Copies of this chain bind each other. A is one copy, B any other.
Amino acid sequence: MAYSIGLDYGTNSVRCLIVDTADGSELGSAIYEYETGEHGVILDSSDHNLARQNPADYIKGLEVTIKKAVAQARKTDRNFNPRDIIGIGVDTTGSTPLPVDKNGRPLSELNKFKDNPNAYAWLWKDHTGFAEAVEITELAKKEHPEYLAKCGGIYSSEWFFSKILHCLRVDPKVFDAAYTWVECADYIPAVLTGTAAPDKLKRGRCPAGHKAMFNHNWGGLPAKDLLAKLDPKLGQLRDRLYNKTYTVDTPAGTLTNTWARKLGLKPAIPVVVGSFDAHLGAIGAGVAPGKLVKIIGTSTCDVSVWPNAQPLPDIPGLCGIVDGSVLPGYFGLEAGQSAVGDIFNWFVNYIQPRGSTKGSHQALTKKAAGLKPGQSGLLALDWNNGNRTILVDQRLTGLILGQTLHTKPEEIYRALIEATAFGALTIINRFEEYGVKISEIINCGGIAEKNPLLMQIYADVTGREMKISRSAQTCALGSAIAGAVVAGKKAGGYDNFFDAQAAMCGMKDVTYKPIAENHKVYQKLYTLYKQLHDAFGLQSWSGKLANVMKDLLNIKDSVNS
């Protein structure tokens, strides 16, 4: 018997999953809600861009959830022994960097910074560095456009250097006190393996490649002189960052005796180099060349892979193409939609059609399911939170068209679902336009599992079968798979990811196949969606409407300032 642990650090909580390496069955799982801030996020009422986390919550969550999951696994009739756990994998949100001292200790643990949120972890959705993101993008565009070509053409305020540069600007004391900065994904494995000291720390390829412009084509991180032009101190920091990164078949180290004792596990089992949740989620869902994994939640992350031995052009609009960021030996291809579930939540929670009770998701979904494609005459764009792929433009906004004097809430609700489906199709088409053929689509995440209407609409719109990943915790499963691979076949794990996935991944029985007559209508509707998409999204479009949403936002900004 051999088991692997997957740890999945989300925005509000951490989950631990104990998985049988033989078949992926889940023996124990536990969740820990972070204690600091609101639902685990430190906010600032005077600055809605700020979102921080307490690194201490990560460590407490580790201990609580592993112990609980072990206890749960013991209660199964499987004769479970925690000493049969052979490896641990870790995924986290990102980019979520935290400043650490010379010993790799988070600054937030130092007394003088204990009340300073700038010394805490800068959560992925912290946008305080929005001005710095523009600055980085503009400089890189001029001096090193190749840096941006692999991350969609724009460096985001959510990413590593935007956050660090912003800290340097607003709180130099914290910046100066930081020996280096560490992604949460790198920090957790380092803690478990006693490798947090900067000279021992192993950095993951995935965070580095997708958020810090790390690429072997140009020798790793962005050039020192580019960073120095942003600020001399940022240039100096580069020397204290890293030149080497590791894929998820590499152990960050082995579990320390202290941790083994505390958790009741065998000492010296390997802990995998950390990675982002969506990427290990993709592994947990069975990602492989030709397979697209869609992780559908408030937003989506669409992940596929491509053999790194085969040529692959830059694919405009993809958030990232990084060698080894998902599976070793493969380019990780990441796309996504900035809002999916969040758009439905907006309609239900902000507009509250028919009041909040009658207008709930369930009621709207039920009524929307009774409508035929095209029946409402409505068409929407899924841009309420901008467009990540393929337009990479945060300053785009929503659009609904076709309202009459009789348009009903469920018609709008369905049009919003359809809009996200059209957005999903646009991503698939973009992959294929650049030669990345998608032959299979696997969905995971709460919405995929719980909303048959949405899945059927996705099938009908794309004309492709929608499969659903079996595990309800695909990210944690992916981490556990990485744990099993790092442990190796001899220990009861696997030598490679495809073998591990073949054994440990699975699909739900229910799948959604396109209904021909619906697909026919949606093909017509997609033509119209694409017209709107190009008209409002592309500067190059003949009719010149791409100014409309941006001018509105500029007017809004000037009125509000």
Contacts and interface: CB of A to CB of B under 8 A. Distances in A.
Interface of A: 339, 342-343, 345-346, 350-359, 372-379, 384-385, 397-409, 412, 521, 524-525, 528, 531-532, 535-536, 541-545, 547-549, 551-553, 555-556, 558-560
Contacts of A405: 339, 342-343, 345-346, 350, 384-385
A555 B351 contact: no
Nearest to A406: B350
A377 B552 contact: yes
A403 B408 contact: no
**Total copies of this chain within the assembly:** 2
A295 B445 CA distance: 54
A399 B545 CA distance: 14
A121 to B, nearest CB: 24
Given A374-B559, A402-B552, A541-B543, 17 more contacts: A343-B405, A350-B406, A354-B355, A355-B358, A374-B556, A375-B560, A377-B553, A384-B404, A384-B405, A397-B404, A398-B404, A399-B402, A528-B547, A535-B545, A542-B543, A542-B544, A545-B545
B535 A377 contact: no
Contacts of A399: 399-403
Nearest to A407: B350
B403 A384 contact: yes
A375 to B, nearest CB: 5
27 contacts: A345-B405, A346-B407, A351-B354, A351-B408, A352-B355, A352-B409, A355-B359, A372-B559, A374-B556, A375-B556, A375-B559, A375-B560, A379-B548, A384-B404, A397-B404, A398-B403, A402-B549, A402-B553, A524-B551, A528-B547, A528-B551, A528-B552, A535-B535, A535-B543, A543-B543, A543-B544, A545-B545
Contacts of A409: 350-352
Nearest to A349: B405
Nearest to A354: B352
A404 B385 contact: yes
Contacts of A354: 351-352, 355-356
Contacts of A397: 377, 401-404
Q: Which 10 pairs between the two chains have the least Cβ-Cβ distance? A: A543-B543, A355-B355, A398-B403, A377-B556, A374-B555, A374-B559, A399-B401, A352-B354, A397-B402, A346-B405
A376 to B, nearest CB: 7
Nearest to A373: B559
Nearest to A559: B374
A142 to B, nearest CB: 30
Contact of A398 (B359, B401, B525, B558): B401
Contact of A400 (B356, B359, B400): B400
Contacts of A404: 346, 384-385, 397-398
A523 to B, nearest CB: 11
B401 A548 contact: yes
Nearest to A353: B351
A299 to B, nearest CB: 10
Contacts of A359: 352, 355
Contact of A403 (B378, B400, B545, B560): B400
Nearest to A560: B375
B376 A346 contact: no
Contacts of A346: 403-407
A526 to B, nearest CB: 11
A404 B343 CA distance: 8
Contacts of A373: 559
Contacts of A553: 377, 402
Given A401-B397, A551-B528, A559 B521 contact: yes
A558 B548 CA distance: 32
B403 A555 contact: no
A368 to B, nearest CB: 14
Contacts of A541: 543
Contacts of A342: 405
A41 B372 CA distance: 32
Contacts of A412: 351
A350 B410 CA distance: 10
Name the residue in A342, A404, A542, A556 with the highest tally of chain B Cβ atoms < 10 Å from its Cβ: A404
Contacts of A343: 405
Nearest to A556: B377
A376 B552 CA distance: 9
A545 B543 contact: yes
A375 B555 CA distance: 7
Contacts of A385: 404-405
A351 B409 CA distance: 5
A552 B378 contact: yes
Contacts of A355: 352, 354-359
A228 to B, nearest CB: 37
Contacts of A536: 401
Contacts of A379: 548, 552
Contacts of A555: 374, 377, 521, 524-525
Contacts of A400: 399-401, 403
Contacts of A559: 372-375, 521
